[in-house]
Structure 1
Amino acid sequence: MKSTSLTAVLGLSLALGTMPSWSADDHSAPSPVATTTIQIGAHDVPVVQGGLYDRFRSNPPLSVIAAEAPDVDLSWFKGIAKEKVDIGFESWSPNFYYENSRVTAIFTADLARLRALMPPEVLAQVQPLQVWPGRGVVALTAYAYHYCDNDSYNEIGLSVVTNQPGASNWGPLSLLGQSRAGDFWGYVLKLPVDTELARVRGVVGYNLPKWLTRIDYSEGENNVVVNIYDSETQALDVTLETRKLDVSSSKENLVTTRFTNIDPQGQLTTGYSTSRQLRHASTSAADAVKLTLTDGSLSRFIASLKLGRMVKYEYVPDFQAALYAPQPLKP
């Protein structure tokens, strides 16, 4: 399986956040900034005053991005046209993510539990891939969106790897086929974010299971540490600590990732993103990832999946993405 990204799919990232300006060399936590309130659907949402979303509503001219982030290569985005869409509110598709980082840990999990967590309507179209008897595959991904159409934010994706709708489910052979094609399918179980803008856009516009909570994504000299907090108790819930890998010899590649879910009207929908991975590396070494669970709500949910062996770890310190609005899923 090539290391492009089994899991760009598996945690799909959407909308938005905090930071009116940005430098390519500065991934530190932003200082407090002034906010203003806008309306998205029926929701009053605080956004960064003067930030990209406040000014352009997901459609900033590339000339503005070039001026604010002159070190970012925008050549890829110049070949992608945007269009105005109605996704419960007026927006533009695709959303552009200019500079981002992620780490992903892929585990085996209890197949029966994964099936039980997916709605029957979705299961009628896609099923978890069985990599060996009784075991499916899930991916836990931490995203740091440093600079995008919707400002900046952090996100955690927990997703099931599935077959393509309408296609046969041949387990590991289907997984291999998706990898060779660079075209992956998944079902998103959990997707907490740390800005209200990201939460509202994701829930209203993309039908995704988002909620607002504190997420700390920090980089040390040799590792990445992500702390996720319980939204109700504010106590530390999950810690994902991963090792930085050598990305000096990695080559740029493109990966398409897709998800299937249900909109508020009960209709099956599908969305997708394309990622341009600029620097990336992977390993199957067990000591590259340390996952620490507590008695928090997300920890208990992860524990219920009965995670097994880590199949793969992906370190992607530099990628760009275009996220497209969801469409009705054709039978």
Structure 2
Amino acid sequence: MKIKLISLLIGVLLNALAFTSFAENLRNTVEENTKAAHTTTNTNPITNSSIIDIAGYKVPVVKGGLYDRYRSNPPLHVIQSEAPDVDLSWFKQLKKTKVDIGFESYSPNFYYKNSKVTAVFTADIDRLRELMPSEVLEQVQPLQIWPGRGLVAFTAYAYHYCDNDSYNEIALSIITNEPGSSNLGPLTLIGQSMSKDFWGYVLKLPVDTELARVRGIVGYNLPKWLTRINLSENDQTVTYEIYDRKTGKVDVTFEAQKLEDLSTDAALVTNSFTNIDAKGQLTTGYAVSRQLSYGTNSDNDSVNLKLNGGELSQYIKSLKLGDVMKYEYVPEFQSALYAPELLTQK
């Protein structure tokens, strides 16, 4: 492929990836007198816990917390009284239903106050295909944006207040086509970006509470494990540290810039995934996010992913990550996570 054609393709792709238009100069000069950095460590140790049973697992939860009291179905008036600064207008339009997902729960699961940062990298497409089960590959495939290169999304979430109390989560996902639809590489990606309806296959999903781990594995068929995740921030950056579950040392550090000129026009974005349940059946699940404050660019300098040689680091290195195709900073969003369904029901 000629250089000019490659450049044109990348230009079209990057323009389509942006949720909103931004000026070229997104990185303003740092103020001379910055405020002192403030740090929040979210390892979620539960000092005052209740032990509950979820599908045979004995799970510690915050005693008197939302999950302890309401099992994913708290009345919105309770949320309003406990978090009066949270806008609940969107959640009032959504109806919860009782579901059996390996244990009794309610769908969708509500996330009232959250933040996240995402970097989309190019990656070795042969390695991505190798990591997906053959049954899944029959339905969806990695999007190839140019020969030999697919895309993976690295997203760090902080769920500050939700039906499952609070926790941090790191998602590493392959970007794919939708089941039953054509995979036209960049054109498919452009279509997903324009419709704000993205599809993927989740590779790794560490979390820092046992409640999030058990619910994710049993209820949503997701590859979760429990480890320490620290979140810190200052005036310029937000940083997540993911600890190795074997050594107890920091394994992955993800530092991301806080962008300016953020959009505050509420936007709904759907993220769906395809996977396999405990019975070997193909399933799909999805979450709808209401983004309340967000910004994006395609600057490699906006993120710094440091890999220290642990289990997750070695896995990420095997993907042969390339440039950042898109960076998204979302300091405020809400979300509704729906129970998975068999693929044949979609």
CA deviation map 1:187-229 (0-9, x unaligned): 0000000000000000000000000000011121110011000
Tell me the distance in 1 between the aligned counterparts of 2:304 and 2:222. Answer: 27
3-state SS, counterpart of residue 192 of structure 1: strand
The aligned counterpart of 1:241 is 255
The aligned counterpart of 2:18 is 3
Aligned residues: 311
The aligned counterpart of 1:79 is 93
The aligned counterpart of 1:115 is 129
Structure 1, unaligned runs of 5 or more: 6-25
The aligned counterpart of 1:47 is 61
Tell me the distance in 2 between the aligned counterparts of 1:37 and 1:134. Answer: 49
> Which has the larger Rg?
2
Tell me the distance in 2 between the aligned counterparts of 1:54 and 1:276. Answer: 26
Structure 1 position 42, deviation (Å): 1.1
3-state SS, counterpart of residue 137 of structure 1: strand
Asked if 1 retains the 8 angstrom alpha-carbon contact of 2:167 and 2:207, the reply is: yes
Structure 1 position 4, deviation (Å): 3.6
Distance 1:275 1:303, change over 3 A: same
Q: TM-score, normalization: structure 1?
A: 0.91
Q: Does 1:204 align with 2:218?
A: yes
The aligned counterpart of 1:56 is 70
- List, as ranges, runs of 4+ consecutive aligned residues in structure 1 with deviation greater than 6 Å: none
CA deviation map 1:98-117 (0-9, x unaligned): 00000011100000000000
Asked if 2 retains the 8 angstrom alpha-carbon contact of 1:4 and 1:255, the reply is: no
Letter in 2 for 1:3: A
The aligned counterpart of 1:102 is 116
Structure 1 position 276, deviation (Å): 0.2
Tell me the distance in 2 between the aligned counterparts of 1:246 and 1:174. Answer: 29
CA deviation map 1:211-269 (0-9, x unaligned): 00000111211100110000011011000011100144442100111000000100000
The aligned counterpart of 2:240 is 226
Letter in 2 for 1:64: V
What is the correspondence of 1:1-331 to structure 2 with a 5 Å cutoff?
Answer: 1-4=16-19, 29=42, 33-330=47-344
CA deviation map 1:13-50 (0-9, x unaligned): xxxxxxxxxxxxx9775785400100000100000000
Q: Percent identity?
A: 65
The aligned counterpart of 2:31 is none
Asked if 2 retains the 8 angstrom alpha-carbon contact of 1:37 and 1:44, the reply is: yes
Asked if 2 retains the 8 angstrom alpha-carbon contact of 1:158 and 1:190, the reply is: yes
Tell me the distance in 2 between the aligned counterparts of 1:4 and 1:154. Answer: 24
CA deviation map 1:120-156 (0-9, x unaligned): 0000000000000000000111000000011000000
CA deviation map 1:51-74 (0-9, x unaligned): 000000000000000000000000
The aligned counterpart of 1:12 is none
Asked if 1 retains the 8 angstrom alpha-carbon contact of 2:124 and 2:319, the reply is: yes
Q: TM-score, normalization: structure 2?
A: 0.88
Tell me the distance in 2 between the aligned counterparts of 1:183 and 1:313. Answer: 17
Tell me the distance in 1 between the aligned counterparts of 2:217 and 2:58. Answer: 14
For the aligned residues, what is the CA RMSD? 1.5
3-state SS, counterpart of residue 160 of structure 1: strand
